[in-house]
Amino acid sequence: MKQTSLEDFVKIKGNRKFRIPIWLIAVFMIALVASASAALLQYFGQVVTTVEVKQAVLLDGKDISEMPIAESATVSGGEYFLTSHVLQSQTSVPVTLQFQTEVAPSPEGVTVKYFKSSGYTVTVTTQVKSELSPDGIPISVTVEDIGDWIQWTFDFFAYNTSVAEGNGKFAGCIIISLDGTTPTFQIHNNDGTCSAFPWGTWLYSPYDPTGGWHTSEADWNTPVSDIGWIEAEGDMLFANNPQGTLVVRILKTKLDTSFGWAVYASIAHFSTIPYSISVYPADFNWGSETFETAVILEEIVSPFVLNANETLPFYIRYEFNPLVAGEYEITTTVTVAD
Amino acid sequence: MNRTRKVRKLLLAGAIILAVSIVILAVAIIQYYSTIKTIIPVEQAVWVDGRPFNETIVETLSSTYGGCTVYSNHTLENRGDVDVTVLFEVVNITDGKGNPINPLSGIVEVSFLVNGQPVGFTNVPAHSTVNFQIAIHFHYAIAPDVYTIITQIKPNIPEPSEPKPPA
């Protein structure tokens, strides 16, 4: 029996043969197979998921679309200043970050470092100046980091065992030394030192490196209420302040990563509580001031980890060499460290 | 005349024989006694969230942050009589401008969870329901945007194996 060849199969009348290319036959076969398999589902279901993703870490509450954050300052060569910012993690995983600094036109003479709070807190007991108040009592002073501020809280009744009565007065004074040795300024609730202001007025009085203190002079005193970076609360009079508490706050950015502080306090005009003058440190004296050192900021070394949902206040400290002058543009970029 | 009659008889006999032969032949080639045409609508075995394959499930999740993982919950229902193994597959990931994102880049990581465990496939027993989650993790450095992820749940159809040559 003669077998029918593919050529015979495609033979048409008139003895004319049309040769069908092999590739066409292959395509046909593939299509045939495909049409057979098309009866099987390629998938049972399909899910289209849309998610809006926000930036994991915000700087001062802003995302990249709101960058850069611009700030400016005018300083003299040899000076420094600090600015305060916040990194805020919105994410549930730790993020490794780093600070990158660019200084234009030249980084020479400009030092930029990044710091975070050290969590400084200390409570001290003042030393009674027995030569001035032999029967005096000490007070308690707590210094603590409360975010952007360093806060001093005077507790005049911490060591009092008498009933507080009479026309008592509380006088408190904080003395700051930015270099730790030379006074820079003091904040006091005028105990009559400066007659230009009512008693009890909270005043800021800078130190004159060449002339010492001018606390009694009106031109050397500025009401704290006129200064944005100092806050002071607490009335001098016991009648208005029966708790015997005075509070003073100073913005960290107006201090430094470390500085010296001292306090001078007096209690007077109580009928039962003895007149008391006390200081801290114990050897503090006007004219030969000594200071307690406070390290309130510690350097952030890049790269560093921002933990899940952590909020990290940080400070940029710009310091300029005494020989530096001109306009500088300093750019800090917070990037992801690989 | 006699010759004519003989011819007629011969033709008649031939016609009868031919007719009988045709009948016999016809009886011999019957292939079936009847025909039954059956029409059965068949629906897919495994349904996702109660929907057939041609109804894409579209969902918009709550906004999230880079570094976070979001989850969407779904169900697989096997309405058939045999156990079915389904495969999970990420088809496409795009950003808000439609730019594709390589699923292997780590920028957007998609995984499928059954009973809280990451799986690439799962068995859906006959006449039962299996819950699964699509877990989408965004790299913490990802640019804020709206991302779209397309996933498919596929039947596990083994490729036909080619015959092996004799050893």
Q: Is A338 on the interface with B (CB under 8 A)?
A: no
Which of the two residues, A336 and A290, has the higher pLDDT score? Answer: A290
Tokens 């980890």 belong to A305
Is A289 among the domain residues?
Answer: yes
Q: Do A49 and B151 touch (CB under 8 A)?
A: yes
Residue-wise over A23-58: b if at least 16 C-beta within 10 A, else e? eeeeeeeeeeeeeeeeeebebbbbbebebebbbbbb
The dihedral over CA atoms of B14, B20, B26, B27, expressed in degrees to the nearest 10, equals -160
Ordered by start, the domain boundaries in chain B are 1-30, 46-155
Phi/psi-derived region of residue B4, left when phi > 0, alpha when psi is between -120 and 50, beta in every other case: alpha
Portion 234-253 of A in contact with B at CB < 8 A: none
Q: Do B72 and A91 touch (CB under 8 A)?
A: no
Q: Do B59 and A41 touch (CB under 8 A)?
A: no
Q: Do B67 and A63 touch (CB under 8 A)?
A: no
At B65-83, the pLDDT tens digits run 999 999 999 999 999 999 9
Which residues, other chains included, contact A51 with Cβ-Cβ below 8 Å and sequence gap of 6+?
B60, B61, B63, B64, B70, B136, B138, B146, B147, B148, B149
Give the CATH number of the domain where residue A165 resides. 2.60.40
At A1-27, the pLDDT tens digits run 444 444 443 343 444 455 666 666 666
Amino acid (1-letter code) at residue A128: V
Question: What was the pLDDT predicted at A165?
Answer: 81
Decide which of 1.20.1630, 1.10.3120, 2.40.50, 2.60.40 is the CATH code for B46-155.
2.60.40
Q: Are A217 and A197 in contact (CB under 8 A)?
A: no
Q: Which of B57, B63, B145 lies nearest to residue A45, judging by beta carbons?
A: B57
Is A84 among the domain residues?
Answer: no
Q: Are B106 and B139 in contact (CB under 8 A)?
A: yes
- Across A178-207, average pLDDT: 96
Q: Do B136 and A49 touch (CB under 8 A)?
A: yes
- A/B interface, count of CB pairs below 8 Å: 150
Q: Which of A48, A63, A64 lies nearest to residue B148, judging by beta carbons?
A: A48
Parent domain of A216:
121-295
At B100-145, the pLDDT tens digits run 999 889 999 999 999 999 999 999 999 999 999 999 999 999 999 9
Q: Which two tokens stand for residue A327?
A: 């306009």
Q: Are B155 and B124 in contact (CB under 8 A)?
A: no
Q: How far is B146 from chain A (nearest CA, A)?
A: 4
- Across A244-262, average pLDDT: 97
Is A42 among the domain residues?
Answer: no
* Beta-bridge partners for A51: B147
Picking from B59, B158, B75, B157, the residue whose alpha carbon sits closest to that of residue B112 is: B75
Partners of residue B48 in chain A, C-beta under 8 Å: 44-47
* Beta-bridge partners for B105: none
Q: How far is A273 from chain B (nearest CA, A)?
A: 59
Nearest CA in chain B to A65: B144
Question: What was the pLDDT predicted at B167?
Answer: 57
Q: How far is B45 from chain A (nearest CA, A)?
A: 8
Q: Tell me how far CA of residue A210 lies from CA of A179, A184, A284, in angstroms.
A: 16, 12, 20
Q: Which two tokens stand for residue A137?
A: 């009592």
Q: Do B150 and A56 touch (CB under 8 A)?
A: no
> Which alpha helices (DSSP H) does chain A contain, by range?
6-9, 22-37
Q: Do A44 and B143 touch (CB under 8 A)?
A: no
pLDDT at B27 over 80: no
Question: What was the pLDDT predicted at A24?
Answer: 65
Is A178 among the domain residues?
Answer: yes
Q: Do B143 and A64 touch (CB under 8 A)?
A: yes
pLDDT at A34 over 60: no
The percentage of chain A sitting over the pLDDT mark of 90, rounded to a whole number, equals 80
Q: Are A97 and A303 in contact (CB under 8 A)?
A: yes
Q: Do A89 and B56 touch (CB under 8 A)?
A: no
Picking from B74, B123, B80, the residue whose alpha carbon sits closest to that of residue A46 is: B74
Q: Do B67 and A47 touch (CB under 8 A)?
A: no
- Total domains in chain A come to 1
Portion 30-49 of A in contact with B at CB < 8 A: 40-49
Nearest CA in chain A to B149: A49
